[in-house]
Chain A
Amino acid sequence: MVQKASIVGVGCTKFGSVLTDPELKGLTFQEMVAEAAFEAMDDAGITPDEIDAFYVGNMLAHTSQVYSHATLLSDWLGLRFKGGFHFDTACSTTNTGIGIASNSIGSGKYKNVLVVGGEILSSVPENYNQLTRKGIDAQTLWGWTDFGVDHVYAYHHSYDVASAYGAIPTMGYMKKYGLSFEQMDETMYYVNKAVRMHASLNPKAMIRQDLEALARSKGYKDSYEFWKSKHNPFFAWPTRLLSALNTADGASAYVISGEPKKYDKKTPVEVKGFHWTTSNYPWYGTDSTTMPQDVIAFREAYKMAGIQPKDIDYLYVHDCMQIHQLEVSEIAGYFPKGQSWKAFIEGRTTYKGDKPLNTSGGRHGVGHAFEASAGSETYHIVKQMRGEAGKVQFSTKPKIAVQHNHGYGMHTAVTVLERGD
């Protein structure tokens, strides 16, 4: 009999910038990760000596200046001599970690596993000293990040991520479902309105201004006029800049246990199923709305969990480009094909709606700290299940939630979680 695994504790730092955010300023990578890890351990009511192993996600060693992360973090986390390793599926990493930790527990080897993710994207150490950091420009950052895409062929062939991950999937949706540019643009406005509204209500999010406040700050009374203005240019037509991620610094963590009854301070969240898939470039064929690796990952994760799309109370999908809120939620079966765009316009995806989606703010609102971000989404899902989600708490606590993430290149991780009370 395979031992069941449950999330018994979660932690997450404020997402923002180590250069400017008072909550993050002056922290080394090690300390930032420890802050999230200690919150997760306290949340679970577990002490370091009860943790058997810990797995660490972090993508850019250029900014963290860490290799062999578990070694360098062991004594900072109070986990010296415990088992541990660095693992990496890029931006899906801390979703993937749920399955890895569950497997370790399921095998009977470990009882309690800590998973942490940390990322710093604002800056690099000067003189190899983490305590003196200087900001980096977007192109340098993406030069390193793009090691996540095929550098034998794809990158040299004029590689353009804004078109590949944003514009072409968006045009595919318009074409497949007969939406005009104006309809699509209006839909993406409503998507971003929900993204920023949720972020503004999330004290851990980097973005604290909703779309209306942002519009007002630029002199616009009408946020849709602002959406269409020069302040929101096309990143790659038809995708506007506000439909893209905002890079952030931050860390997240969770404790997964095979003994949820022992750590019952909070409602445990059982890991019901998961699946991972990989695909090198290109990520889709002539139908740019659908990545086949997503289709397989959802199908197999649902099969493992014994659920169907109709059972899902809450869905969190990877929204590095917000078009994927539409496309992936349809692949997940949360909305019928070609129908999700209407749900965004009707406000059904907000925390007050009947089909809540990404209600902490996603990769634009919370901010995208590559290998820490999926863990911040898990953090939020667990909080929703416990009724601890603050201002964005649903009126009914979700029983079944599904979390989807893309990891650059393209990795897909899908995890099915169930409230354990």
Chain B
Amino acid sequence: MEFRTAKKFYDNLAKGKIYGIRCRKCKKYTFPPLLRCRECSSESVEWVVMKGTGKLHYYSSTMLPAIKFVGEPPSAYGLVEMSEGPVFLTKINNADISSPDSIAKGNKALPLPVKARVRKIAGMDIVTFDIKK
């Protein structure tokens, strides 16, 4: 087994490729990649490039960002159901967080389709999503 899962994931993000794993046993996807299937624990998994599409179900934004993100502009954080199945929470680039009312209004319109975009945030390449307009 190759144990350097996180390194492979982040190295590929830098090249614009978003990897997950697919279980050969239960056929379910795990994202981000782990050493075993998150659903059935099988180690018989294969690396697959994720479509980068999905649905945004919820988003909000904290008044007290985690210390890593203190230098970043205020950010929307949302729950995305990826097309392959896994739920992933991350930065939503173009969700309106300008006021509580705009967050309320923005959430009323959900779920909406989203598209993944790799961005460098606080010094690391991460998977973010844009709401498709």
Measured CB to CB, the residues of A under 8 A from B are 138-140, 142-143, 146, 152-164, 167-168, 171-172, 181, 233-239, 241, 281-282, 284-286, 288
Contacts and interface: CB of A to CB of B under 8 A. Distances in A.
A162 B64 contact: yes
20 contacts: A138-B64, A139-B66, A142-B64, A157-B128, A158-B90, A158-B121, A158-B128, A159-B69, A160-B75, A163-B60, A167-B58, A167-B60, A168-B60, A168-B79, A168-B89, A236-B61, A238-B104, A239-B60, A241-B63, A286-B79
A233 B99 CA distance: 11
A235 B66 contact: no
A158 B69 contact: yes
Given A153-B32, A282-B89, A163 B66 contact: no
Given A152-B6, A153-B32, A282-B87, A235 B126 contact: no
Nearest to B111: A286
Contacts of B32: 153
A286 B87 contact: yes
A139 B67 contact: yes
Given A281-B89, A286-B81, 12 more contacts: A158-B126, A158-B128, A160-B62, A163-B60, A163-B61, A235-B64, A236-B60, A236-B63, A237-B61, A237-B103, A238-B60, A241-B63
B77 A139 contact: no
A142 B66 contact: yes
Given A163-B62, A282-B88, A286-B87, A237 B104 contact: yes
A139 B75 contact: no
A164 B64 contact: no
A161 B104 contact: no
A253 to B, nearest CB: 32
B107 interface: yes
A164 B9 CA distance: 23
A257 B58 CA distance: 47
B65 A160 contact: yes
Contacts of B70: 139
Contact of A153 (B6, B62, B64, B67): B6
- The 4 closest A-B CB pairs, nearest first, are A143-B67, A158-B91, A167-B60, A160-B77
A154 B128 CA distance: 12
B77 A158 contact: yes
A285 B88 CA distance: 9
B112 interface: no
Interface residues of B, number: 37
Given A143-B67, A158-B91, A160-B75, A235 B124 contact: no
B100 A157 contact: no
B101 to A, nearest CB: 9
B66 A160 contact: yes
A281 B124 CA distance: 19
A308 to B, nearest CB: 30
B59 interface: yes
A42 to B, nearest CB: 40
B62 A235 contact: yes
Contacts of B62: 160-163, 235-236
A157 B64 contact: no
B122 interface: yes
Contacts of B104: 181, 237-238
B36 interface: no
A159 B76 CA distance: 10
B57 interface: yes
A147 to B, nearest CB: 11
B113 to A, nearest CB: 15
B127 interface: yes
A189 to B, nearest CB: 16
A237 B100 contact: yes
A154 to B, nearest CB: 7
Nearest to B87: A285
B90 A234 contact: no
B66 A161 contact: yes
Most chain B beta carbons < 10 A, residue from A156, A158, A181, A285: A158
A302 to B, nearest CB: 25
A320 B88 CA distance: 23
